[in-house]
Chain A
Amino acid sequence: MNVQQKPKTNARVEPLMGNEAIARGAWEGGCGVAVAYPGTPSTEILETVGKFPAENIYAEWAVNEKTALDVATGASFAGVRAMCAMKHVGLNVASDSLMSQSYIGVNAGLVIVVADDPGMHSSQNEQDTRLFARFANVPVLEPADAQEALEYTRLAFDLSEKFDTPVIVRSTTRLSHTRSPVRLGEREAVEPKGFVDDFRKNVTLPAHARANRPKVIAREEIVGKFFDESPLTRFEEGEGDVGIITVGMAYSYVKEVLPGVPVLKLASSFPLPKERIREFAGRFSRIIVVEELEPLIEEQLKIMGIPCEGKAFIPREGELSPEIVRKGFIEAGLIKPPKKKKPAEPEIVPRPPLLCAGCPHISSYMAVRAIDARVCGDIGCYTLAAIEPLRAIDTCVAMGASIGNAVGLAKSGAEKKPIVATIGDSTFLHSGIPPLIDAVVMKANITVLILDNHITAMTGGQDNPGTGVTLRGEPTNRVDFVQICKAIGVNWVREVDSYDLGALYQAVREATEYKGVAVVISNRPCVLDPVRIRGDALEVVQETCVACQSCMNLGCPAISWSDGMYDGHHKVKIDPMLCIGCSLCAQVCPSNAIRAAKKD
């Protein structure tokens, strides 16, 4: 690979989002291959990488996180620095490769960026990636702001090569999505090392793995010593005899609440700089650990025989905030409760996120709801169909789980309703194909509804193998869903336009009546991405609206109550700014009161 020097960009300071800073750090660190599967809050990392010159860095949306890690690892084998990025639950998918890669180590630097979501702003759990780091015995770096995000990512490549291990950089939603000033640096010129033909290292036969295992254990001590000597482990002097040990975003909350407290700021929760910690603990009569989510540092300190407190005051669940840390410090007796006027009580109007006006998922779930089926849902925008008014999903677990769940429901013999699995295009390609093979081979009596909106929508519109476009916007091969299903052995496949409600009702009904695996592909592009779809708005003729509110069942954000009443009920109106004219409401209106809006 030809790694070129970019024009001089000396000491430029720019406000960057944490994710943008991570991407910049990878670029500056000489990364040559970057791969990801989109997932909030990690998505913008690869989107930003895609803006750097293609001749310097290859960027790809992989089909799933495991593939992303495998592709990055391949580049590392070839001697080119590589990074893969994912959200926390994505690491579950990639973990199979990670656990073994830890034994193999690296050739060129291999960095895995994982963005956790404490507080579950946009996730189904709040698992702590730092536990995975310890589990896999790989170092984890935890930046506290965008500047550190850049520096730590850059450093991660050096550490990876120095200690012959993949390195995890752990972000969180707050870091990933906070914009703060960052000093930009130059891209490091890193020459590819070339493949190293080392059979004992690169091939994990049991005998080789047994030989590597002691090295993996010893690495913990060696990397811990590095952090002992590194300036990244920072002692900040302060007043009082209570010392705080903290890491990552929690550090900023500690400094916000108690700017003058003595702090040992770590760069990593694993492996720990044990000497520095012992030295710090020796200076204070009391040690409090402030860390987000799991008590990883606290537990290691206790194993080291250092008395400390942490989760007694700082909750294990949810995202931390200055007020939560302050509350913890008050309980710990570090500060007195402030004598401030009580803040005003809020009045909460429920405003859950909605499927968009014209969203093609709406009709798919109207059709599923109409047959009174047991519906296994999956991960994507369409999970929103689980809430009122569609209320059309019975289960939702994890990426690709819907089809396997449906097979289990069918094979249990205990479910009398028709069984339907609903899964989006990107999720189907991510991990829906193996369970569909299972369903076909086991002759499960289920219907699979593939919601093909031609994009990975939930994360903001990324391309996937079904779109035929790469991350850099170049045309490429695309997979054909009908062909995939037929190749697997599904005999009943039908593709339907998502805006044709009648055809969808019919297809879903016939599919559930079919004995065996039936696949309905509900096909319409997302209204937001890759292009915002606009059409002529519809309007409700107030004179003929009978206030049955049948259209309100769609859960369309453009439809709400008007001031008019019929028989004591609210008539409805359509917001012309939101409506794109998909016509689903007109299709369900019993009194033909919905028509194209008159133009002025």
Chain B
Amino acid sequence: MGSDTERDDVTSVLIVGVGGQGVIMVSKVLATLCQEHGLEVKQSEVHGMAKRGGAVFSHVRFGRHVHSPVIPAGEADVLLALEWAEGLRWLHFLDPENGTFISDVRKIVPPFACRDRGRGVAPQYAKTTPRDVLEKVSVGYALDATGIAAKLGNDRAANTVLLGILSTALSFPEQAWLDVIERFVPPKTREINSAAFLAGREWVKEATVPEGEVLPVPEVDTVLKNVVNRLEITEEWCKGCDICVKFCPERCLALNDAGKVVVKDANACTGCRLCEMLCPDFAIRLHKELPAEVAQ
């Protein structure tokens, strides 16, 4: 029942990134370009909670006639990511058979990924490397667009480098792209953005895969990793000023009924020494001890 001819006529591009990176600007350039070529375009995004720093996406669909403004999962013809982990988040939207994956390898590590304050932990960031992704997708480009833009003199032109890559996956003429981009960037940066766009198109010709880990894991002494934190409280010196209780990032301290500080949750202590440093009465000391079996 039904035919697919109408749908096959529609191209779907999903543009993703982090709030403030310019996802909407990139999608507006594409939408304007399509419209000027007489195509019907629907561009869909979500406003509101995605303040600065949140995950941002924009669906752009164009063709003779477009129904749904959102791209069905697994049917995006192109996934364009301005940030590495965001590309990974939306990977399941890409058509696994014919889709093109384009991503900057630039990493924006969210503060949320830096919550575990234990010793020697890595931020909770994506582990998937460019090589892993490029093996999974039909066509894939992972590049240091920010680096390319920085070499041209403005790392903010990274989006335009990515537009250059995108332009090779679609059939609009080079000059049409340049004309639209010129209208969407600040006048002073026109030259640099044109150069960035062409640099992106040039890069595709000899596309390579960046090697190596996504984020290096910090090297921490195995001894340090096994250290156990013990807080020693000298009750007679504590006057219950409460400073340590308020400032403990892990909230492991509390005041008892007598108004003296006690350790409420010893396991939560990461050994940051903040209480020790802030105590006006030297009533708290942190001891770092090795368990007997490690010490041997």
Say whether A and B bind each other: yes
Q: A349 and B110: CB pair below 8 A?
A: yes
Counting contact residues on chain B (CB < 8 A from A), the size range is: 35 or more
- Which of these, B3, B220, B225, B249, contacts A549 with CB under 8 Å? B249
Taking CB atoms, residues of chain A closer than 8 Å to B97 are 340-341
Taking CB atoms, residues of chain B closer than 8 Å to A145 are 42, 69
Using known A-B contacts A343-B91, A346-B92, A351-B53, determine if residue A181 contacts B41 with beta carbons closer than 8 Å.
yes
Smallest CB-CB separation from B3: which chain A residue?
A260
Tell whether B51 is near chain A: CB-to-CB under 8 Å: yes
- Which of these, A177, A260, A546, A547, contacts B2 with CB under 8 Å? A260
Among the 9-residue stretches B168-176, B191-199, B267-275, the one with 4 or more Cβ atoms under 8 Å from chain A is B267-275
Tell whether B14 is near chain A: CB-to-CB under 8 Å: no
Q: Mark B224-235, 1 if CB is under 8 A from A, else 0.
A: 110100000000
Q: B47 and A352: CB pair below 8 A?
A: no
Alpha-carbon distance between A260 and B4 when the two chains are bound, in angstroms: 9
Q: Mark B31-74, 1 if CB is under 8 A from A, else 0.
A: 10001000011111111111111110000000000111111111
Smallest CB-CB separation from B116: which chain A residue?
A570
Taking CB atoms, residues of chain B closer than 8 Å to A370 are 246
Taking CB atoms, residues of chain B closer than 8 Å to A11 are none
Tell whether A209 is near chain B: CB-to-CB under 8 Å: no
Tell whether A214 is near chain B: CB-to-CB under 8 Å: no
Within the complex, the shortest CB–CB distance from B274 to chain A, in Å, comes to: 4
Q: B112 and A351: CB pair below 8 A?
A: yes
Taking CB atoms, residues of chain A closer than 8 Å to B114 are 552, 560-561, 570
Among the 9-residue stretches A97-105, A290-298, A320-328, A402-410, the one with 4 or more Cβ atoms under 8 Å from chain B is A320-328
Smallest CB-CB separation from A14: which chain B residue?
B35
Q: B41 and A180: CB pair below 8 A?
A: yes
Q: A353 and B53: CB pair below 8 A?
A: yes
Taking CB atoms, residues of chain B closer than 8 Å to A43 are 47
Q: Mark A545-569, 1 if CB is under 8 A from B, else 0.
A: 0111110110111011101010111
Taking CB atoms, residues of chain B closer than 8 Å to A548 are 249, 272-274, 277
Using known A-B contacts A343-B96, A590-B274, determine if residue A334 contacts B1 with beta carbons closer than 8 Å.
yes
Tell whether A595 is near chain B: CB-to-CB under 8 Å: no
Within the complex, the shortest CB–CB distance from B223 to chain A, in Å, comes to: 10
Q: B117 and A559: CB pair below 8 A?
A: no
Tell whether B113 is near chain A: CB-to-CB under 8 Å: yes
Taking CB atoms, residues of chain A closer than 8 Å to B277 are 546, 548, 590-591
Taking CB atoms, residues of chain B closer than 8 Å to A242 are 1
Q: B89 and A549: CB pair below 8 A?
A: no
For this complex, 10 residue pairs linking A to B, each with C-beta atoms less than 8 Å apart, are: A256-B7, A256-B68, A343-B93, A347-B85, A347-B126, A351-B55, A356-B52, A567-B224, A567-B271, A578-B52
6 closest A-B pairs by CB: A122-B48, A568-B119, A260-B2, A40-B48, A353-B54, A256-B68
Residues in chain A within 8 A of chain B (CB atoms): 15, 40-41, 43, 121-122, 145, 173-174, 177-181, 238-240, 242, 252-253, 255-261, 321-323, 326, 334-335, 340-357, 369-370, 372, 381, 384, 388-389, 458-460, 528, 546-550, 552-553, 555-557, 559-561, 563, 565, 567-570, 578, 588, 590-591
